Copies of this chain bind each other. A is one copy, B any other.
Amino acid sequence: MQLYTYFRSSAAYRVRIALNLKGLNADYIPVHLLNNGGEQHSDAYKAVNPSELVPSLVDNEFQLSQSLSILEYLEERYPETALLPQDIQQRALVRAFSLAIACDIHPLNNLRVLQYLSGTLEVSDEQKNTWYRHWVDTGFKTLEALLHSSNGRFCFGDQPTFADCCLIPQVYNALRFNVDITAYPKIASIYQHCNTLAAFQQAAPEAQQEAA
């Protein structure tokens, strides 16, 4: 398998965590989102992923985009070290939590949107940062509420799931923008715990070759 990845992309970071948790190997192919006018816009990359976004997974000839679809694919194809619970309702809650990040926080704050705000709409850096923090705070309030009955070391119990694969990159990203996460004690505690584990550490942006 090959994973097209960018070290700072939250969405690629989700997949890197999942691959590590499942003990799966993939060759990482860096796609630099800033260099060369954004390598995701190259014809070569568009042939892999027409959305011009990372990540993409290639498994033999099979090309797949969208981090959550990649997680579901890995789960179905390599069910060992399951990242979804067995119980139907618990699976649904894990997916809802993951989507609350992947649909309601991250799309508003990713690179192309921040570039549109600064470029086309000419908003100030202060307005852009306020925008960023607004959607993170709105989303984190929801996540903290969804975790109200969580007492495990991970989002849902004592095993990592898709939810942790999505949460850790989002928190990492928020900290880069100086969001105060002490207001979200469950999120902060899960973030701290996950980052003690090799699967998460080795997926982090600073652990990627490109970051060197």
Contact = CB atoms under 8 A, between A and B. Distances in A.
B116 A131 contact: yes
Q: Give chain A's interface secondary structure class.
A: helix
Interface stretch (A17-25, A138-146, A178-186, A197-205): A138-146
Contact of A96 (B64, B107, B120): B64
A137 B196 CA distance: 42
| Category for how many chain A residues contact B | 35 or more
A141 B51 CA distance: 8
Q: How many copies does the complex hold?
A: 2
A66 to B, nearest CB: 4
Contacts of A92: 62, 64, 69-70, 72-73, 76
Given A76-B91, A121-B131, A51 B104 contact: yes
A90 to B, nearest CB: 10
A42 to B, nearest CB: 15
A193 interface: no
Interface string A19-62: 00000000000000000000000000000001111000000001
